Structure 1
Amino acid sequence: MTLTHPKPAAPSANFPLARLSRQWPTLLVGLGCGSSLFYTCTVPLVGLGVTAGLTLPRSVALRVIGAVWLANQLLGYTLHAYPRTPQSFAWGFILGLGAVAVTLVASRAVSWRGGLQRLEVPTAAWVTVVGFCIYEGLILLASLALGGLESFTPAIVGGIFLTNALWAAGLLGLHALFQNRRPPVLPPDSWQP
């Protein structure tokens, strides 16, 4: 008599790096919400969106980035005393839209690559650059209507890019460490005793 173990479900195309666990999305949300305590207007939504999009299924990644954005808005209007004006709410909406766009680009990059079995540094780098350009492009367009073009200096934009790139690199590195601690998956042919 041969016992066979049920085969695990195949990972989705948007989640090729690891099996889904609740720990990773929860950690991303926790770190993202924690960042809102230290950053006011420059929460690293690009770095978080890139990481979520590259490491989680699209629907989970969108929920993660949505939770981080919402926490940032709640903390901003309470702890950081954001002005409660239509212009301020519009900016919050634009930041959320940009974060969702970055997350979708990162998630789509995984699909274009046919799924990543492991995170590739060049892919993560170009997704971070493209995501940042989209995010800042939306902010630039919104600045034409809402004001704030004076914030588009090379020093400010460069600093924001560096912050987001470091967050993406750090979180993706943390994800790699998290994945290396998980037990290896045995190939299906080794399941039979």
Structure 2
Amino acid sequence: MSAKEMTGVPQRGASTLWIMLLTAASAVTTLALACATPFPALAALAAVHMRRRDGVALVLAAWLASQVVGFCIHDYPRDLETAGWAVGLATAAVASVLGAYGAIARTARLPAWLKLAAAYVSAFIAFKLAVLVWAIWLGGVEMAFAPGVVMRQFVRDAAILAGLMMLYRAMTAIGVPAVTSRTRTRAA
């Protein structure tokens, strides 16, 4: 049964709704944790539940929201280095979601929780590799890749992923239309 048949909401509308809801949740995280948008968590959740195009739209919307929060609320510096990092984070966010979709494509026969775990680990690795490329160019490799920092980010984003999954399940339980896996697997 499709999302439209179950709720009267077309699947495209369900995807747009979830992009907005998850972007808002991400913006709250960015606001609370200052410069900590959980791109790997969003990427993993998108890879499990959304079409690739919608997953890319989600991480880019979350990136835009994080830039608005950063520049308007956290008063990020308005200089070329910060602008470079903004572009770098956008490319890292897209790399993250593409990494998550790559993992999903290779784990089709695994249980859902293993797919989600594989998508998260792949998203995190892709994100950090893209950040590394930008850090080499813009500086900050030592700080961004200190083992303690990487481990804290991995655990923090995994906890945020768990929270987002609970939010997803709670919202669908109260009637918000889910984005169906059948639709997600169609060509983007």
- TM-score normalised over the length of structure 1: 0.74
Q: 1:29-178 residue pairs with structure 2 within 5 A?
A: 29-114=23-108, 120-151=112-143, 152-178=145-171
Q: CA deviation at 1:111?
A: 3.6
Larger Rg: 1
Moved over 6 A (4+): none
Q: What is the CA–CA distance in structure 1 between the aligned matches of 2:159 and 2:67, rounded to whole Å?
A: 22
Q: Kindly tell me: are residues 8 and 88 of structure 1, through their superposed partners in 2, closer, same or farther at Cα, counting changes over 3 Å?
A: closer
Secondary structure of the corresponding residue to residue 78 of structure 2: coil
Q: Which runs of 5+ in 2 are unaligned?
A: 4-10, 178-188
Q: What is the CA–CA distance in structure 2 between the aligned matches of 1:155 and 1:126, rounded to whole Å?
A: 22
Q: What is the CA–CA distance in structure 2 between the aligned matches of 1:174 and 1:78, rounded to whole Å?
A: 27
- TM-score normalised over the length of structure 2: 0.76
Q: Which runs of 5+ in 1 are unaligned?
A: 1-6, 10-18, 184-193
CA contact (8 A) 1:57 1:107 kept: no
Q: What is the CA–CA distance in structure 2 between the aligned matches of 1:177 and 1:133, rounded to whole Å?
A: 29
Q: Deviation digits for residues 31-76 of structure 1, max 9, x if unmatched?
A: 0122221122222111112112221111222112111100111221
Secondary structure of the corresponding residue to residue 70 of structure 1: helix
Number of aligned residue pairs: 167
CA contact (8 A) 2:100 2:118 kept: no
Q: Kindly tell me: are residues 91 and 120 of structure 1, through their superposed partners in 2, closer, same or farther at Cα, counting changes over 3 Å?
A: same
Secondary structure of the corresponding residue to residue 81 of structure 1: coil
Aligned identity (percent) is 28
Q: Kindly tell me: are residues 144 and 122 of structure 1, through their superposed partners in 2, closer, same or farther at Cα, counting changes over 3 Å?
A: same
The structure carrying a bigger helix percent of its residues is 2
Q: What is the CA–CA distance in structure 2 between the aligned matches of 1:26 and 1:75, rounded to whole Å?
A: 16
